[in-house]
Structure 1
Amino acid sequence: MNYRISQTNEQVRKALNELSTVPLHEKDQLRCEMKLNNVFTNYHEPPIDFMPTYKFDSNTDVYDTSEKLRTPSWTDRILYHTKRSMVRYINNELELQSIQPIHYSCAKTIRFSDHRPVSGLYLVAIKYKYDDKCLNRIREELIREFDREENDSIPTIDVYPRPPAILFNNIRYLDKVSYSLLIKNIGECSCTFSIYSSSAFEPTRPIKVKQLSDEPFFDCLTFTPNPPYILQINEEQHIDISFQMKSQYSWLFGKQLNEILILHVENGADTFITLDITLDMGPFGLSFNQFPPTLFDSEKRQYIYSIDKNTSSERIIEMKNDPPALYISLIDCLKERNDLNLLNIFNSDIQDAIDLIPIRNQIYEHNYNFQNYSSVHLFMILLHLLQSLPEPLISRDIQDKMFLGNNTTSNRSYQLPSGSSIQSHIPNENSSQQQHMAKAVGFIIEQLQPKQRNLFFRFLLLLQKSWPTSEQIKRNDNDTQQSILNVCIDVLALSILHAHANRNQRHNFLLACLNDEKKKNFK
């Protein structure tokens, strides 16, 4: 508005300097015109309790100092109008029919213009007719809107195929099978999710990876890529879930695994994935007593791996104290060849190139003629058989007696030291340590069952025969060969002791089983 104050510039500025604005209100041109009903009829304005809003020097609180030297005035106003300007009583009920000003002021701190903006706060009474249907409709619309806003903030995913159900049937030892999932973020916000075992999942506490890995079946699962996963809006993630049974869970072999995986979305809804696995482990995971009897042809002086109809039953002898024919066949075949190179077998490049599935399939078919396979294949499948035994070749009970000193059945107790390093406990010649370990090994052999003792001796003779010489170790880079030899000892020790004893105890025991010449090569 362009209404000014009907006084001279000097009079107005003097009154403002004295903070005396009331006399200026009476000279305000807009108010004078409204009182005469010349303009804005039936419009109202609250009392003005602020300084004139025009004209200021830019970015200052100083009124105009330009050549025009304009007179300060209230040129920025808020007027309001209502059809009903009074409060009336209708049917003894108070009906508010006016607009009530609550606050009317200017913004003194906004200085970028030559005007000061004004603002007002008003209480407005609205007369309406109560309508249940209309009120319910508005309420429902508001609820739907609130729900929509709340749902938009909840992470939401879709999983394909739906419902996700993993079914792996007749899984053989060493088989690796996979199942693919497609996860899509269909919500209005980013989401973070992972996959857990239901038996280890408690929403009330944080997930601990170590606890999950203690679940045997979960430890045999791999996820590609690895969790957790983060998806932005409309993004997708392909996940391959692979299963491969590990030898240390031999007590599960031959069983059916039924579990539920939880695809857990942080702050969102979880998805359940059923997992059903049927294991066909064949001879892997069988104890010696679960194998067929070991038979020997007394006339040909050889073990029988398959029964010939023409073979006389009188020539067949059941070898009750011998290990299963499968183990004997593998070891005898390796001994005949005399080409077992342990340093070569445990070279990482060789290990990566080994395909044991063909020889495994032949074993499943009970065909023990292994002449067409390399010594590497024969030796590695032998180690797999040993590692998959439900009870280690040296039973856990015997290991406890030796490594923990818990010998309650005999007065003799030869405890092998654990040590802080492998080489520190390799005994020197004529040392009491060497005698101590030799006695311990002798005592262990006494404790073995006949079948286990028989196989243990066969296996040790094979190792002693094929153990690398000093020349083989020094032939190439010594550090590399020593590293390969350490891996070799670790795997071999696990094959007969599993993971019951600690690593140093396993290494020391295996080295104590070798003859003196072989032990020197490791120093």
Structure 2
Amino acid sequence: MPSDIKPIDPGTPFRDPHVSVSAEFNTQRHLAREVLGRRDEYTRAKQIRVKTGSWNVASCAGTEKDIKGWFVEGKGISSLHGGLPIGNKTNDEQVEDVPTQEARASKHESTIPINDAYHLPSNDEIDVYALGLQEIVDINSAAEALRPYNDSAPATRWKEAMAAALPEGYVLVAEQQCLGLLLLVYASPSIASTISSVSTTSVGTGLMGYMANKGAVAARLVLGQTTKMVFVNCHLAAGNDKASLERRNWDVSQIIQRTRFSPIDHGNGVMDELGDYIGEEDFAFWFGDLNYRLSDIPGDDVRRLLLLHTRNEYGQDDKTRQIIDRELKLKEDAKSKDVMAGGEAIEPSMDPASPLTTIASLMIHDQLHAQMRLRKAFHEGWQEGPIQFLPTYKYDIGSVGMFDSSEKRRSPSWCDRILYRTKKHYQYWRQQAKELEKVHKRDEEMKARGLEKENAEDIIFDYDPETDGDDGVGDDPTSHNNESNDTPVYQEVATDSVGSINLEYYVSHQRILSSDHKPLAAIFDIQYNAVDAELKSRIYQDVAKEIDRQENEGRPSVTAIFESQDLHEKPSDGCQFGDLRFFQEKTVLLTVANTSPVPATFEFVQRDGVPAIPLWMRLEIRNGPRNTGHNNFPDPITLQPGDSANIDVVAFVHQAEQLYQFNEGSTKPDAVLVMRVYKGRDHFIPVQANWLPSCFGLSIDRLIRIGKDGVRKQRLDRELDKEVVKSSAPRELFRLTESLEKGLSNIASDPARLEVMRQQNLGWPFVCRPIEEIARDDQSLSIREALDTGSPIELPNANSIEEIELLSETLVLFLSYMSGQIVPLQLWDILSVSLVELEKARRLPQDEQLRSHVLDVLSTSPPASISFTFITFMLSRFVTIMAPVDDALDSAGPLLMLSTPGVQDSILKRARGLSLRDDQRGTRKRQIETAYVERFMSLIFEMDDSLKGTRARKISFDMKKLVLEAFILNRKAE
């Protein structure tokens, strides 16, 4: 990880799809480097105090009432064994004694000792408060552990308590809850305004490795635009056996691997591509109920050693003192004086009877420090201050110094811990890990050759972590816990340009009685360099001007001009299509000229996920290959100085999705084309068009509400209220079918033209030309325009075969683009069920009766029924005129009544039987009928894509075919 913090770079970086780093990004990176080089000019040294606190409240009621006393005001620290440096205790004589305090302990009020006033930085002397709580709900409850959401009520209660405890103006800058875990970070008014890019997350490591009864919550924030801070509050696996220890180590590794913060937004459109992991910050604080215990020492021995100290909190006649003495089995004659009272002239750390001596002897057995030395957990540079306080777990609730007196007699342990790390600590560990890996690799090579180490220079660490007895990190000389080493490499760590950290206090609040854990706090003094926004802005402007001056001298540049189709309008730098209609191509010429003294390469690119070219547009280079597919522009174009390129910008709305959106008004035909010039500037080209609504792409429900003047004079976005006059069927459909029948009758009256018409291919005239030809055909456009405006359909070649082709082509387009088919799936389901019921009764009617039955069912939707009749009647007329009726061959007779085990199979065999019988006739009439049925099947009926299996789809298809044939074939009954 680089030592310098990534600066805030104005502008938007861009990664080009064709080159590794774009010209724009190169410029931004150059600018960032230059500004960073003058960092000393716009950063100023800052110093703040950060206080972290951790407390397992064991889901006990009333614990929030103590939060102000111990966490904000620093009270509740025992003078004997709280970890407070000597000399910080004041007015000891006035402080409420322990027996009195325990006697009044209550869930309804604070348990802080009355008149307690230890001298610690507190209230507004602290700039950042970071509080980590565990078990704010009962995590042992199955209902809580398996709850799919967090109960916010406990978190709200704690936030209210903190808001009341903190000085006025402090701001909650980060919060995260995960079941029983809660992390709250507050900042003073002056610091809160400099905090940005706050991100919080949680990781569950409990049941099945993911449940939230164990795990961590974390927050990342950026201080002063330069310094990343991370706070982690965790609750690791409990238990004192080996499996529990290994599970705690696993929990730690999972939290580190799975914690991911959101990318940092630097402002001005600049954002990191990836989010941060733990390890990429400048200062990190990890606290919580880590649950590491004391190993290789009997719990009863630990209890006895510690009770010898805590008994001194009580008077000779106090009930708790008597209970402790009975457990220790002390003799009556020894009660006249304190058993563990040391001599006054001996330094506490050297006094064998001092709590500090007992603590030091027990810390040798601490699992956490052992796992750090063995590099199994928290070995990556993590630090911990000297532990000079009694274990924080486990006490009788309401007691200052009575460890677990239940039948379990749990061994006291330092479960609650506060660790910290700087970037320098982490970098040092990484460097040492690399060196150690090299040594191990060299050792393996030597062993493979049968050699042994010959000198001590091959050994990096000159101690044995198994026997050294160090109570700290061991392999990291930056640790505060290396005091037992004779020759530490160096003392306190100073980080790189980011700043430095100093641990001022690491204390336990022994006299807090409302939980079976004692709360823990640490105060850090942090120095860092913060950005002065005004100074940086000035320097940024100076650097940007200089870079711009240098780059403009050899920067490629192009000029883009649009030539309008209207000769009376002047060329412009924007693309104006004017009125835009459905299925009409409109083209505007774009000329791009290289006006710079160097070659210029350009292309059109996407921006912010928006396609480079909208779906309704395409770009074509003149004299180049025609781009008939989607609008992918060719490869980048390079122009020599003075050269130019002519590009046709074509608007063509023919895709159903775009048509629906334009008609509904949810999208407008406006866009901005981004033309990127490599090593030059981007050109943002506005594209505008005025969409003319069309009856194409509307549903039947909308079409029947269009008046006789057409869709152009009606608002499509108004509500479908009772004032709108409905027609029985779409007027456009009626006009098209009526015009086709009229034209067909006129041609049929002329034997010569009728013969020509009968010579056309099967399926004529309902076979459409390619979309490019339709889009460029003015006569086809005039028909669509007449439908949209309600004007008469006028064609120069009336009553001609060409007219029939244009009208039929328009009809197919109209049905193809309609939003929904004539017979929707819901209506078809009713019809198909009724046909099956008729077949069950062996009463499936012949053609005439079948037609009547179908129309009865369709009559429940009059627009569908009438539209269906328009189309099928017109097709029947075409069949009759296109092929003469041959009584001898065309008498197919009634539908065959086949007796089969399955109802659907019966209907299927009827359709297949008729097809086989008529196909054997080989008449042109039957071929025409079949072509019409297959052409209009999907235009009339909605196909059910949910049908599974080839057989089900085939049955549905043949049933639709059977219904449609009954209306088109016009067979005579025998």
Q: Shared fold (TM-score greater than 0.5)?
A: no
Which has more radius of gyration?
1
Instruction: Place the TM-score, normalised by the shorter chain, in its bin.
Output: 0.3 to 0.5
TM-score normalised according to structure 1 size: 0.45
